[in-house]
Amino acid sequence: MATQTDSSMKVKLILAWGFVGIPLAWGVIQTIINSMKLFQ
């Protein structure tokens, strides 16, 4: 039972961090691409 709770919490953590992490990573990548213009 404890293992089941553990794995369900792991799934929740992955989903929650993915929910905010993926859009943030996309935004950061866009900004890095734009920032590279400084070195061109």
Partner 1 sequence: MGMLSFLDREHTIAEPGFSRWLVPPAALCVHLCIGQAYAFSVFNLPMTKLIGITQSTPNDWKLTELGWIFSIAIFFLGVSSAVFGRWVEEGGPRRAMFTAAICWAGGFLISALGVYAHALWLIYLGYGVLGGIALGIGYISPVSTLIKWFPDRPGMATGMAIMGFGGGAFIASPLSVWLMSKFNTSTHVGVAETFIVLGVVYFFFMIVGSIIVRVPAPGWKPEGYTPPATARKLITKNDVFVYDALKTPQFWLIWWILCLNVTAGIGVLGQASAMSQEMFPGHITPVAAAGFVGLMSLFNMGGRFVWASTSDYIGRRNTYFVFMVLGFFLYCAVPYTGSIGSVVGFVCAFLVIISMYGGGFSTVPAYLKDMFGTRYVGAIHGLLLTAWSAAGIFGPVLVNYIREYNVTHGVPKAQAYNTTMYIMAGLLVIGFICNALVRAVSERFHMQPDDPRAHDVMATATPKTAPVGARA
The contact set with partner 1 (CB under 8 A) reads: 5-6, 9, 12-13, 16-17, 19-21, 23-24, 26-28, 30-32, 34-40
CB of 15: closest distance to partner 1 in angstroms? 9
CB of 33: closest distance to partner 1 in angstroms? 9
CB of 32: closest distance to partner 1 in angstroms? 7
For residues 4 and 33, give the distance between their C-alpha atoms in angstroms, rounded to a whole number. 42
For residues 25 and 27, give the distance between their C-alpha atoms in angstroms, rounded to a whole number. 5
For residues 16 and 36, give the distance between their C-alpha atoms in angstroms, rounded to a whole number. 31
